Chains A and B, each alone.
Chain A
Amino acid sequence: MRAAALTRRFGLWLATGALLLWSLGPIYWAVATSLTAPTDLVAQPPHFLPPRVTFEHYGKLLGATSSYLGTDIQSVWPQFSRALVNSLVVSTLATVATVALAAFGSYAFVRLRFPGRNLLFVLIVGTLAVPAYTVMIPLYRLLVCLHLIDTYLGITLIYVSAFLPLALWLMRSVYQSLPLSLEEAARLDGAGRTYTLLFIVLPIAAPGLIASAILTFLSAWGQFMIPLVFSPTLATKPLTVLIPEFVTKNYVDYGLMNAAGVLAILPPIAVVLFLNRYLVQGLMAGSGK
């Protein structure tokens, strides 16, 4: 019996190790590659640990100039910093706008009675089944007409329209789980509906708002196809579009690309580490009950 328990425990440890290796192994490899000198990268078999830790790939990304094989070359800091700012600005704007619209909109769909509300809600959440590329071509022509291609406003609007249905769906389940009695008590005390929403309902709904914000931010941060079409220049081009461009015709600088990738995954890693409780709730609620 004790032997069986030991085998079971060993099996659990083995499975946990395999799962961790699968999930974190590639991330470790990206970090190790980004710290390995170019001459050590071209080795077979590959080094599991960088033989000499170097920050030269990060220097190329973050420094004013850098040297490669003894000659001074232009660093990519001007493009990289621009794309980093673009990613941050667009993701933040999209997150704030989406959560704000969903907080008020969803409250209206759950608690306020107005003509057509059920039909509208079903139609809007139904657009979750409409993939981005199906509406992308008319949107492209529309934004060209409005001179909104390659502007923060244009990209943000498209992101909001893409991520709003999920946020509405999530906030709906949050509002539905709140007790009505709370709002009725506030009303009896003479509070108006807007006041009740702002100062009584929203504070209790905060975990749901955070979950929607996380899902929206991560989706916007990782978006590739939409900015590939709508952000042609560095005016709004995000990291996800810039990094693959580091591949030149005859040379792929894997050290540089992995370093850029490691910097680009820092915000999502921070979110998963510090906010994983909200993230898991959001994923579970968002996947329909």
Chain B
Amino acid sequence: MTQQAALPVGAMPRPERRREVVPRDERWLGLAFAAPVVLLMAALVFVPLGLTLWDSLHRVDPMRPGTPFIGLQHYIDLMSDTNVRQAWLNTVAYVIIAVVLETLGGLGAALLLQRIRVGRRWLLAAVILPWALPPVVNAIVWMWIYNPSYGLLDGALLRFGLISAPRVWFNYRATALFLVSLVHVWRMMPLTAVILLAALQSVPRELYEAAKLDGAGPVQAFMHVTLPLIAGGLAIALSQSTVFAFNLFDEAWILGGSSLDTRTVVAQVYMSAFQNLHFSYGMALSVLVMVASCLVSLVYVMRVYRETRYG
């Protein structure tokens, strides 16, 4: 859900073509092995998901009696809620900054890793490391780096004469959004790098040699050989980074708290439901976030299909 390393793309199980009688013991064993998984997912994901959809059409509020049906009222209220609108804008900013930086940085790291021969395994381990750490701890480490009085960032900027006095970066919305995104990029860029490295390694070496014989320089070879052949991996990486940035909570919550300047839509869901106890209002917003995040990643998935069909 929020922390998954990956989102599956395509590749549905193919139905068995040949029709033969399935032995009864195989059927029962299959059901027995799958039953715990199915029951658990039904109880803890499918039923709650249904309840979320259903309750978002009602007024469920522990502070007020009854749960009357109110139709789409919550969804209508969400449209005119200025806090919610601000949270959406923040999330869009996070997504744009994170996707751009992760893709460029991840591609750079992948190209570099592919060229390194000696010690590649250890360099890869170092690159992956930030991804493996708890986001909360990352945020705390970076919070100290960003500290206006004693932090590394201001210290370095002062030393190189880029600023003349320490600045409280989180007082300005634009820099606050950027610095929160940077922590997220630090954690998620490794995933993009690993996906793109896998894609790069699947490009046949002969193609580069052929391009060289045809007189292509490194830039041309990259544009006409590498890029089209890693398009699938690139789409997966893009959709991953988008979904994760869309669901950003931990870093923004630790660094910015409930501040409206850095609040994400997920933080808004959390605050509506668990701080202000407007359960069903939070649910309605969570449904919108889920739909938006699915739609955006669907755009990339469609691209993958098109690329693989014509590519």
Q: Report A's interface with B, CB cutoff 8 A.
A: 12, 15-16, 19-20, 22-24, 26-27, 29-30, 33, 41-46, 101-102, 104-105, 107-110, 112-115, 117-118, 120-125, 127-142, 157-158, 160-166, 168-169, 172, 193-194, 215, 218-219, 221-226, 228-229, 239-241, 243-244, 254, 257-258, 261, 264-265, 268-269, 271-273, 276-277, 279-280, 282-284, 286-289
Contacts and interface: CB of A to CB of B under 8 A. Distances in A.
A124 B37 contact: yes
Nearest to A129: B294
Contacts of B25: 193
Contacts of A239: 134
B129 A222 contact: no
Given A12-B115, A137-B282, A138-B51, A131 B6 contact: no
Interface in B151-175: 151-152, 154-155, 158-159, 166
A282 B191 CA distance: 11
Contact of B132 (A15, A24, A272): A272
Contacts of B47: 138
Contact of B134 (A117, A134, A224, A229): A224
A130 B6 contact: no
A39 B253 CA distance: 29
B115 A127 contact: no
A277 B269 CA distance: 38
A224 B36 contact: no
A101 B40 contact: yes
Contacts of B191: 283, 287
A114 B34 CA distance: 10
A113 B128 contact: no
A240 B7 contact: no
Contact of B8 (A105, A128, A141, A161): A128
Contacts of A194: 29
Q: Which 6 A-B pairs have the closest CB atoms?
A: A112-B30, A114-B30, A222-B134, A108-B33, A161-B44, A105-B37
A160 B1 CA distance: 11
Given A26-B142, A113-B16, A269-B129, 5 more contacts: A19-B109, A101-B37, A108-B32, A135-B48, A225-B2
B116 A12 contact: yes
Among B8, B10, B32, max chain A CB count under 10 A is at: B8
Given A24-B126, A166-B5, A257-B140, A127 B41 contact: yes
A129 B152 CA distance: 38
Nearest to A143: B44
A161 B40 contact: yes
A239 B133 CA distance: 12
B300 to A, nearest CB: 11
B159 A45 contact: yes
Contacts of B108: 15
Interface string B110-127: 001001100001011111
A165 B237 CA distance: 19
Nearest to A108: B33
B128 A272 contact: yes
A243 B140 contact: yes
A44 to B, nearest CB: 6
Contacts of B247: 131, 133
B267 to A, nearest CB: 9
Given A135-B52, A229-B274, A283 B31 contact: no
A239 B135 CA distance: 12
Given A105-B34, A129-B294, A161-B40, A138 B52 contact: yes
B255 to A, nearest CB: 10
Contact of B155 (A44, A121, A261, A272): A44
A283 B8 contact: no
Contact of A222 (B11, B135, B154): B135
A244 B4 contact: no
Interface stretch (B89-97, B204-212, B283-291): B283-291
B273 interface: yes
B129 A46 contact: no
B52 A134 contact: yes
A46 B155 contact: yes
B96 to A, nearest CB: 20
B155 A157 contact: no
B140 A261 contact: yes
Contact of A271 (B132, B138, B145, B154): B132
B217 to A, nearest CB: 13
Contacts of A127: 1, 41, 45-46, 49
B30 A129 contact: no
B116 to A, nearest CB: 7
A120 to B, nearest CB: 6
Among B31, B121, B141, B294, max chain A CB count under 10 A is at: B141
A175 to B, nearest CB: 11
Contacts of A129: 7, 290, 293-294, 297
Contacts of A15: 108, 112
B215 interface: no
